[in-house]
């Protein structure tokens, strides 16, 4: 069933790539239509799972990835519709397709552990997933910024110059995405700390609760991300690190987020292996 969404995301990716190279308006509309269809199919899947298990499917690494892909698709569609700018799709879609293969090929089993029954669990996971989706957008916008920046700087006004919005627009879109992501990251982390403190009371025997500390790679790397984005938000521009350097920072930040989200979740963490 999840294969349908994967196929739709892949189709949308092909259409966005085609639209980007040929700049055919009809293909562009097809791309958006396919992505909307993919997002709707995905909404249906997540809705079904929610009905089945009683909460949004986020209690396993795989279903969290699926929900993340869904949130990212919706966030991207929001950006596209509000800015009327389709050029970014070709950069976002590969990530959606790549990540969506995981839930499509190995469906996760929702963890029913006692520790996950608390009310803060949903807030913690969903705000972090939303933060990650914002950072993914910021990263892609940052990459396009760098591509355009290099063309203008090198005086070779070509492929990206003709297709991307202005540097100023990309920079402010990037900034906005980072602000939103940072707010949700902060909320998600604070809720996580509070929730851990509570869980030590009601689910102490769970070894994962005992492993909730800064020594755990997942928590440590999340803190590193938070510091990188805080730096970008509050210090970078003051010391002249705007524009291209800010774009590089958002790419670096998201690379770490992705590392934390996929390999660390699956293989290294002992506190977050649900």
Partner 1 sequence: MHLLLIGISHRTAPVDVRERVDFHTRGVGTALAALAGRGSTREAAIVSTCNRAELYAACDDVAKTRQDLTAFVSEFNGVPHPQVAPHVYEVSDVEVARHLFRVAAGLDSLVVGEPQILGQVKEAFSAATESQTAGPVLNRLFHSCFAVGKRVRTETGLGSGAVSIGYAAVALAKKIFGDLAGRSVLVIGAGEMGKLTAIHMKSQGVQHVTIISRTMAHAARTAEAIGGASAATWDDMDAALGACDVVISATGAASPILTKAHIEGVMRPRRSRPLFIIDIAVPRDVEAAAGEIEQVFLYNVDDLQATVRENLARRASEVERAEAIVTEEVKKFAAWFRSRGAIPTVIALRQRFEAIRRAELERLEFKLAPLPTDARARVDEITHLIVEKLLLTPTEQLKAIGDADTIAVYTEALTRLFSLGEPSQNDSASGESDRRVTSFPRPGSTPRR
Task: Name which of 119 and 158 has its Cβ closer to partner 1.
Answer: 158
Q: Could you say whether residue 155 binds partner 1 (CB under 8 A)?
A: yes
Q: How far apart are the first and last CA of the chain?
A: 23
Residue 152 interacting with partner 1 (CB under 8 A)? yes
Near partner 1 by CB under 8 A: residue from 1, 21, 24, 52 = 24
Member of 4, 167, 203, 256 binding partner 1 (CB under 8 A): 167
Q: How far is the CB of 236 from partner 1 (least distance, A)?
A: 8
Tokens found for residue 128: 């972090």
Q: How far is the CB of 175 from partner 1 (least distance, A)?
A: 11
Does 239 sit near partner 1 (CB under 8 A)? Answer: yes
Instruction: Please name which of 261, 243, 42 lies closest in space to residue 136, comparing C-alpha atoms.
Output: 261
In angstroms, rounded to a whole number, what is the distance separating the alpha carbons of residues 222 and 120?
Answer: 18
Regarding 119 and contact with partner 1 (CB under 8 A), the answer is no
Min dist CB 147 to partner 1, Å, is 13
Among residues 112, 117, 166, 215, the one that binds partner 1 under rule CB under 8 A:
166
Q: Which is nearer to partner 1, 107 or 242 (CB)?
A: 242
* Distance between CA atoms of residues 219 and 106, nearest Å: 25
Q: Which of 132, 126, 133 is nearest to 39 (CA)?
A: 133
> By C-beta, is 205 or 238 nearer to partner 1?
238
Q: Which stretch, 97-105, 194-202, 242-250, 265-273, contacts partner 1 (CB under 8 A)?
A: 242-250
Nearer to partner 1, 79 or 104 (CB): 79
Residues listed for the chain = 274
Q: The tokens of 181 are what? A: 């992501």
Instruction: Note whether 241 binds partner 1 by CB under 8 A.
Output: yes
What's the closest the beta carbon of residue 241 comes to partner 1, in angstroms? Answer: 7
**Interface with partner 1 by CB under 8 A: which residues?**
23-25, 148, 152-153, 155, 157-158, 161-162, 165-169, 237-246
């Amino acid at each position: 069933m999840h294969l349908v969404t994967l196929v739709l995301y892949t189709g949308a990716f092909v259409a966005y790539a085609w639209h980007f190279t040929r700049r055919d308006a009809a293909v562009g509309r097809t791309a958006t239509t396919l992505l909307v269809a993919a997002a709707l199919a995905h909404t249906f899947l997540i809705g079904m799972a929610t009905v089945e298990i009683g909460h949004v499917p986020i209690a396993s690494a795989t279903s969290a990835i699926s929900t993340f892909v869904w949130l990212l698709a919706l966030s991207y569609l929001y950006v596209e519709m509000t800015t009327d700018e389709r050029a970014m799709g070709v950069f976002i879609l590969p990530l959606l397709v790549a990540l969506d293969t995981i839930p499509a090929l190995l469906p996760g089993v929702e963890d029913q552990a006692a520790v996950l029954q608390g009310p803060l669990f949903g807030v913690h996971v969903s705000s972090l997933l939303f933060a990650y989706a914002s950072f993914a957008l910021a990263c892609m916008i940052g990459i396009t910024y760098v591509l355009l920046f290099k063309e203008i700087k090198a005086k070779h006004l070509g492929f990206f110059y003709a297709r991307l919005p202005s540097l100023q627009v990309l920079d402010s879109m990037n900034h906005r995405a980072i602000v939103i992501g940072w707010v949700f990251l902060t909320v998600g982390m604070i809720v996580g700390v509070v929730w851990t403190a509570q869980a030590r009371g009601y689910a102490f025997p769970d070894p994962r609760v005992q492993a909730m500390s800064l020594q755990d790679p997942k928590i440590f790397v999340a803190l590193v991300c938070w510091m990188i984005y805080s730096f970008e938000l509050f210090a970078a521009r003051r010391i002249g690190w705007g524009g291209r350097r800010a774009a590089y920072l958002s790419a670096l930040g998201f690379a770490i987020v992705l590392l934390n989200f996929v390999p660390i979740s699956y293989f290294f963490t002992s506190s977050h292996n649900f």
